[in-house]
Amino acid sequence: MKLKLLSLSLLAASILSCKDSDPKASAFVDLSSYIWVKDVSGRNLLNKATPGYLDSSKIRIFYDIEGKETEYYSPNLDAPYGFQVQKYEPNGEYYLWVVASPYQPSVTYIKWPSGDEDTLSCSLIRSKHIFVVDEVYWNGIEKFKNKDPNRQENWGTKAFGRFFEVIK
């Protein structure tokens, strides 16, 4: 009986100790950008079947943290190097999914196998329950601007929030 009473007391205490029952209390975090990488002929350079494709094992992501370039590596994540090459199954196209720097200012450097480097700069929206990319610039050129984080662009039948194309 004492064990039941103790268990019920602990359960009641844990329930009553919750201060924020607001369903919006969970955070929404989206620092993703989606990049379709093509050559001047329009061929997808992330596809291994494309001549001159970009070997994703040699792509590196660096964040600007207080003026220092720091390589991104977090081995416990699905994308330990801050990006993934993903295939959109309905049309077989590959794209680069990049996690933008969460630091202010948000500056992410993408170092390609060829030795080229591109800069992904983002403006971020931060509030109590949201942390999302609001604007995206590729080498200083605006690629995406959005004051509504729920807006999405469509590519095929799949929706992407910040999808753009670059020529390498």
pLDDT value at residue 29:
82
- In the prediction, which pLDDT does 15 show? 35
- Distance, in Å, from the CA atom of 105 to the CA atom of 107, rounded to the nearest integer, reads 6
Residue 153 contacts residue 160 (beta carbons within 8 Å): yes
Q: Where are the domains of the chain?
A: 35-167
pLDDT computed for residue 7 by the predictor: 34
Give the separation between CA 33 and CA 110, rounded to whole angstroms. 12
Instruction: Give, for all 168 residues of the chain, the pLDDT tens digit.
Output: 433 333 333 333 333 344 544 554 577 788 889 999 999 999 999 999 999 999 999 999 999 999 999 999 999 999 999 999 999 877 788 999 999 999 988 999 999 999 999 999 998 888 888 888 888 999 999 888 875 555 555 555 455 567 888 999
The three-class DSSP label of residue 147 is coil
What is the pLDDT at residue 25? 59
Distance CA 33, CA 40 (A): 21
Name the burial class of residue 123, with classes exposed (0-12), middle (13-18) and buried (19+) by CB atoms within 10 angstroms of its CB: middle
- Residue 60: closest CA among 50, 70, 51: 70
- pLDDT value for 85: 97
Over its C-alpha atoms, the chain yields an Rg (Å, rounded) of: 21
Tokens at 77, concatenated: 């994540």
